[in-house]
Structure formats: C-alpha cells, structure tokens
C-alpha cells in the first residue's frame, strides 16, 4: 500500500462514502449497478489500484430504465417545493461528506485536494441554487386576441434525463445537471467516465441515503458504468428525451447525430480552446496570476483551461519573461499535498497526447520557452506527471487549433488595436470561454459587444476558468451550444406548454376566422 494512501487517509475517506476500502481488486460494491465486465480504477497520483467496478450490461440497463420510469411517476407529481426540500437535504449530506468526497475526487482524478473540495462546493452551491429555483419555475401570462380568453404557458417535467460526464469534473457536472433536473421533476440516469467510476458510486450512495430517509424510490437517481458503448444505451433510447453529454467534440458530434435521429434533445458541453487577450492597458500582475492558474490548474485538464495567450507586441516580452519566472516556481507532485501546484494527468494516454503536442508545435515552427517533459523518479511512479510547458506559436498552427487536454500554453503576438486580437481569439472552431486583461473601458466593451468574443463565456480582468454556478455555463460553435447550471438553464430539463382558456359561452376563432354552423 502506498504511503500516500496511509498518510492522507484515503481508506477512511472511501469508507465514509460507503465504498469498500482499498483492496486487492475485489468489487467496490458496484454489483448494485451492474453485472458485466470489470473495469479497474487506478489512481494517477501513485498508480495504485483503488478498486474494481462491474459494468452495466444491456439487460442491466433495461432494469435501470424500469426503475427510473417507475420513479418518475412518483417524482413528477411531487410538488416542486417538496422536491426542493429533497435537494436541500442532498446538499446537507454533501456538506457532511465534503472532505472525504473531495479527497476521493483528488485521488481518483488527480486534481489538487483544494480543487477537489472546490468541486464538491460547486455541488453544494448548485443544490442551494436549485432549492430557491423550486419555487420559481415561472411561465408567462399573455393577453389573448379573443375576448374572454386567457393565455399562459407552463413547464412540465420532461422525464428521464441521461447524463454522460467526463473525467475532469467527476462529480460537479453531474450535480449541475441532476440538481436542476430533480427540481424540474425529472429522474436521472448517469454514466460517469469509466476513468473515475468510484466518484459516481460515492455520489449514488449519498443520494440513495437521502431518498431512503424520505421514503422515495432510489430510481430518481440511477447509475450505469462502462465505456462509450454503455452510453449508447441511453443515446439510442427514445425513452430518454434529453441527453446531457460533456466531453470531446468528437464524442459530442456522435451523440448529437444519434439523439437527433430520434428527435430527442441534446445538451452538449464539449471542447474549449480558450484565450486570454492581454492589451497594453493590462495589469501585468493580475494577468500572470490569471494565465498561470488558467493554464496549469487541474494540470490543464479543464474545458475552460487557458490554451492561448494573445499578447500585444508592445508588452509581449514583459509578459513572456514574467510567465517564465512564474512557471519556474511551480511545484509538481502529489495533489493531496497542498504545497504542490500541479498534479498528474489522468493517465498515460493523456501523457502521450501532451508529448505529441510539444513535438507538433516545434515541427510547425514554434519555440518552447518552457520545455516541459515527463517527470520520472520518486513521487512520479504513476508515469502521469508532466511539466507545464509554454510555446511561442502562431494561431494557424494545426496543433494550436486543436484542444490539447494538458498544461501546454501557446503565446501569440498581435499588433494594432484590440479588434485584431479578437479576430485571433475567435479564429478557432471552439467557442467556450474567453477573457481580456485591460483597464481600457473601450477595449473591454468592444470585447463584450456583438463584434467581440464569440464564446459563451467572456470575462474581463479574470481568467478563462472559475465559472460560478449562478450564470449559465456553456459555449458556442464546436463547444456544442448547451447551457448548464444557473440563469434559466433549467428550461432545457422541462417541456413547455402553451394553454388557452375560454371562460365565455362563445367560441370565437383566432385571426377573426368565421365558421358558422
């Protein structure tokens, strides 16, 4: 057993979450969620086996659907404020288990313990948001053109919501969807990433405790495990009216086509190729903090990670030198140790993609300012630790146009006014998050205008990552167009209905049409 497991209390955390402690490869209790092949969860932190999970077969999935659809009959007729009370209790459970769940997120995924705690806090925050929302699922009232008539619209529960989440946020993105879907009267079936299955099991255990305590069917929240083939059970199923999928652009395009072929709805949160524009009026200190955290946080494995830094030529050298100094101060290692800034990539396949990006940028004519490389030796036995790298490049490089899910930051130079920088920023296929660093009001407002950033998120004087749950989260173009979390994102989880009531003894027709009998 690795010293990290004993020193940082991983076994205790698992036990608190209802998962068997680190073992010799026996099941972690996932037999409740599947009877298929076994997948193993290895920690990228130290390479240790955490546990093995049984996957969901087609027959298992059929049973899950029966459980979910039966639960929906009960849940949809529960008044929304009462559904809010259940979500409130779920949020309280998360508060009680924040530390062990944050620790599991850190150990199974590889992000820092502070980021793991932050992810659980996002779950708590969306529960709080959803509780208030449970009394605010508003429709509109409209004036009819016909006398003695009233028109209004209302929203009804949609049904079974299928959720496919990625490894990089193994619990928060599920909660963004689930808390809102529950409030709306939907039930959920979740397929977490096969790279972090224990996080899914832990969340299901927490939800099940709340449902049991309230005499509610566990089918309100269902879990299925496995690879993309298991996800296809949902995407192809006409009984699942909405699929919310987070992941790569390639995956999203497949999901969108399959779901559209049966006229279902998709909520897609896909890739990002996010940039920060740095103008001559930028605060350099703020810029460096935002850029470094955006580029190396979660080892560059956020969809909102900063990939490109678009710097005005007049301050390019100043920013470049400050960045290199900052990168030289980064500490890389065990993410459970709060002295470290950067943890591991999720697995060795991600390491290979990182190495390929460094090779490609040089082949296309770029220059490595901070060379990067794979770390080896004591503390890096998992083979998943890499050095964050910085490369001088051009926006039209093929590798720059591609989202590399690793800590590789590309520096791009622009001249002229801010519109030239905006053109570079928008000159990629993805459109998730963007930012500008400037104290110039005209530049900031241009960036936020209809001729500015084409991304779903546009920030001024903060970085590209760190979205709050109060605002709708999502992006445009190949990012998929979906919106999750705050604002009116709840509407995707419901079906809209327009109602007209005639309270007279006459039946006038719309548009003044006459039809006399």
Whether residue 450 lies in the annotated active site: no
The residue annotated as part of the active site, out of 127, 222, 303, 384, is: 303
Q: Which residues contact 52 (CB under 8 A, 6 or more apart)?
A: 25, 26, 27, 28, 38, 39, 40, 41
Q: Is the dihedral of CA 376, 382, 387, 391 positive or negative?
A: positive
Separation of alpha carbons 397 and 33, rounded Å: 45
Decide: 389 and 371 in contact? Cβ < 8 Å.
yes
Structural domains in the chain, sorted by start? 3-270+483-496 (3.40.605.10), 274-473 (3.40.309.10)
Structure tokens belonging to residue 256: 């969108």
Strand 457-460 versus strand 386-387 pairing type: unpaired
The residue annotated as part of the active site, out of 194, 269, 403, 443, is: 269
Mean pLDDT value across the chain: 96
> For 459-477, how does the pLDDT look when each residue is reduced to its tens digit (9 = 90+)?
999 999 988 999 999 999 9
**Comparing C-alpha atoms, which of 425, 428, 393 is closest to residue 409?**
393
The pLDDT of residue 193 is above 80: yes
The pLDDT of residue 21 is above 90: no
Give the pLDDT of residue 163: 98
Instruction: Determine the average pLDDT of the residues in 301-328.
Output: 98
The pLDDT of residue 127 is above 80: yes
Separation of alpha carbons 201 and 33, rounded Å: 9
> For 264-293, how does the pLDDT look when each residue is reduced to its tens digit (9 = 90+)?
999 999 999 999 999 999 999 999 999 999
> For 33-63, how does the pLDDT look when each residue is reduced to its tens digit (9 = 90+)?
688 999 999 999 999 999 999 999 999 999 9
Whether residue 222 lies in the annotated active site: no
pTM as predicted: 0.96
The pLDDT of residue 25 is above 50: no
> For 402-427, how does the pLDDT look when each residue is reduced to its tens digit (9 = 90+)?
999 999 999 999 999 999 999 999 99
What is the number of alpha carbons within 13 Å of residue 396 lying toward its C-beta?
1
Give the pLDDT of residue 27: 44
308 band by pLDDT with thresholds 50, 70 and 90 = very high
Give the pLDDT of residue 20: 78
**Comparing C-alpha atoms, which of 359, 369, 413, 418 is closest to residue 391?**
369
> For 216-234, how does the pLDDT look when each residue is reduced to its tens digit (9 = 90+)?
999 999 999 999 999 999 9
Separation of alpha carbons 354 and 300, rounded Å: 10
């Amino acid at each position: 057993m690795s010293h990290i497991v004993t020193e940082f209390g991983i076994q205790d955390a698992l036990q608190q979450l209802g998962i068997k402690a680190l073992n010799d490869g026996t099941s972690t209790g996932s037999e409740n969620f599947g009877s298929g092949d076994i997948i193993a969860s290895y920690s990228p932190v130290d390479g240790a086996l955490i546990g093995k999970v049984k996957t969901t077969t087609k027959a298992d999935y059929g049973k899950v659907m029966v459980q979910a659809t039966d639960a929906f009959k009960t849940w949809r007729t529960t008044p929304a404020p009462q559904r809010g009370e259940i979500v409130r209790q779920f949020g309280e459970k998360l508060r009680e288990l924040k530390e062990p769940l944050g620790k599991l997120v850190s150990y199974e995924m590889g992000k820092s313990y502070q980021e793991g705690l932050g992810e659980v806090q996002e779950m708590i925050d969306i529960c709080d948001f959803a509780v208030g929302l449970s009394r605010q699922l508003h429709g509109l009232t409209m004036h009819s053109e016909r006398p003695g008539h009233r028109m209004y619209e209302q929203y009804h529960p949609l049904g079974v919501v299928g959720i496919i989440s990625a490894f990089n946020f193994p619990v928060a993105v599920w909660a963004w969807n689930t808390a809102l879907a529950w409030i709306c009267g939907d039930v959920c079936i979740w397929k977490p990433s096969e790279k972090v299955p224990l996080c899914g099991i832990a969340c299901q255990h927490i939800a099940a405790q709340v449902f049991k305590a309230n005499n509610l069917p566990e089918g309100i929240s269902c879990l299925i495990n496995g690879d993309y083939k298991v996800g296809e059970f949902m995407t192809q199923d006409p009984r699942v009216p909405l699929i919310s999928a987070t992941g790569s652009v390639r995956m999203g395009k497949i999901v969108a086509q399959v779901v559209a072929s049966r006229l279902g709805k998709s909520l897609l949160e896909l890739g990002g190729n996010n940039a920060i524009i740095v103008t001559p009026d930028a605060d350099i200190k703020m810029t460096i903090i935002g850029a470094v955290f955006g580029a190396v946080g979660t080892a560059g494995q956020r969809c909102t990670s900063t990939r490109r830094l678009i710097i005005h030529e007049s301050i390019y050298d100043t920013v470049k030198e400050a960045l290199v100094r900052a990168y030289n101060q980064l500490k890389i290692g065990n993410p459970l140790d709060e002295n470290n800034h950067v943890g591991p990539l999720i697995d060795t396949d991600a390491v290979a993609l990182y190495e390929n990006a460094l090779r490609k940028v040089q082949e296309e004519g770029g220059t490595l300012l901070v060379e990067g490389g794979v770390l080896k030796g004591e503390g890096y036995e998992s083979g998943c630790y890499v050095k964050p790298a910085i490369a001088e490049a051009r926006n039209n490089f093929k590798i720059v146009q591609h989202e590399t899910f690793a800590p590789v930051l590309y520096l791009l130079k622009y001249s002229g006014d801010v519109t030239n920088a905006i053109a570079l920023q928008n000159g990629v296929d993805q459109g998730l998050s963007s930012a500008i660093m400037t104290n110039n009001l005209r530049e900031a407002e241009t960036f936020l205008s209809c001729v500015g950033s084409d991304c779903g998120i546009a920030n001024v004087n903060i970085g590209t990552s760190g979205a709050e749950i109060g605002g709708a989260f999502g992006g445009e173009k190949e990012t998929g167009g979906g919106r999750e979390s705050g604002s009116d994102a709840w509407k995707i989880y419901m079906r809209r209905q327009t109602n007209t009531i005639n309270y007279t003894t006459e039946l006038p027709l719309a548009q003044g049409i006459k039809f006399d009998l």
